[in-house]
Amino acid sequence: MNDATRHLIDIDRLSDDEIETLINRACALASGADPGHLDASVANLFFEPSTRTRVSFELAAARVGMQPINIEMAQASTTKGESLEDTVATLAAMGIGCLVLRHAEIGLHARLAAALPAGVHLVNAGEGSRAHPSQALLDAATLRARGIEPAGLKLAVVGDVRHSRVAASGLRLWPRLGVEELRLAGPADLLPAGQPSPGVIHCSTLEEAVRDADVVMMLRIQHERMDRSGWPDPAAYHADWGLKSEHLDVAAANCVVMHPGPINRGVEIAAEVADGDRSLILEQVRMGVFMRMAIFEWLLKR
């Protein structure tokens, strides 16, 4: 491994300066700054379903002049028994400069990155329930682009926090950006196990979580990471934990609503809130492309 080759594995590996650079660059690109031109190919390797993240990386690559290649993992050589290590080495030998990987296995991204030849970069586009750093970064950029600084905010994360890699990366990022109060809320089974870490508050009701909150981030129930199929009942869940207009009445006056998507209308969020004027959901999607452009630029910067 070559230490000079950058990878995006998780938030913890980024310095404060790197975090600021990425967020600011995404905001600049969103306001029309010229993207650089990067001469490299990028392979998208998604072993889990994805629409927005995969398309976002693909569009971002194209916009910075890179050649994106989508590999249909259901038809890839890993289905013929090849190890992912060998698939990745094969792609690197063909001159692929960047690998964007979504995979359920925790620790795989770091392991593969450490074994890559110098000059080949790896981006974590989702790692089980552990990390999704580009999503956390684009969420922060979405706020900044709106003129909302995370420092001093009360931010509520509501829903299936336990299985959410978006929440996991957010829990790493938000304190670094000075969020004053990070509230986690959801059914007890869906909150992180154990005691909350310093600066994090576990709330037992949705009302408690959203009261005076500046940002409310709703999460989908990650059924694919649970053994209990069909649980919880969607209507009962919506009654207790679905964000509805009335909740915004007790939130801070300018409270904004976020959701990484895919959204389940009528489950974790009422349609009128998802489509309402407090919602930044499509702004997050838009900012996702600019953040991934910023990530490619940062990775390949000499």
Burial 120-135 (b: 16+ CB within 10 A, else e): bbbbbbbbbbbbbbbb
* Contact flag: residue 132 with ligand NCD (CB under 6 A): yes
CA distance 15 to 21: 10
Q: Which of 150, 170, 232, 261 binds ligand NCD (CB under 6 A)?
A: 261
Residue nearer to ligand NCD on the CB measure, 144 or 220: 220
- Shortest distance, CB of residue 281 to ligand NCD, whole angstroms? 10
What single-letter DSSP state applies at residue 188? G
Site for ligand NCD in 28-57 (CB under 6 A): 52-53
- Shortest distance, CB of residue 86 to ligand NCD, whole angstroms? 26
Residue nearer to ligand NCD on the CB measure, 135 or 142: 135
Site for ligand NCD in 139-168 (CB under 6 A): 165-166
- Shortest distance, CB of residue 126 to ligand NCD, whole angstroms? 5
Residue nearer to ligand NCD on the CB measure, 109 or 220: 220
Q: What is the DSSP string of 103-114?
A: ES-TTHHHHHHH
- Choose among 16, 67, 3, 30: nearest CA to 296: 67
| Number of residues engaging ligand NCD in binding (CB under 6 A) | 11
Strand ranges, E, within the chain? 41-46, 67-71, 96-103, 121-127, 154-158, 181-185, 200-203, 215-218, 256-258
- Shortest distance, CB of residue 168 to ligand NCD, whole angstroms? 9
Pair 254, 19: CB distance under 8 Å: no
Q: Which of 126, 128, 186, 232 binds ligand NCD (CB under 6 A)?
A: 126
CA distance 195 to 38: 45
Residue nearer to ligand NCD on the CB measure, 23 or 38: 23
What single-letter DSSP state applies at residue 29? H
Residue nearer to ligand NCD on the CB measure, 153 or 291: 291
Residue nearer to ligand NCD on the CB measure, 87 or 124: 124
In angstroms, the Cα distances linking 197 to 92, 129, 183 are 40, 18, 11
Q: Which of 124, 135, 142, 169 binds ligand NCD (CB under 6 A)?
A: 135
Site for ligand NCD in 180-199 (CB under 6 A): none
- Shortest distance, CB of residue 261 to ligand NCD, whole angstroms? 5
What single-letter DSSP state applies at residue 120? -
Position 286: which residue type?
A: R
Query: Which residues have CB under 8 Å from 87's CB, separation 6+?
Result: 45, 76, 77, 78
Residue nearer to ligand NCD on the CB measure, 87 or 135: 135
Q: Which residues bind ligand NCD (CB under 6 A)?
A: 52-53, 126, 132, 135, 165-166, 220, 222, 260-261
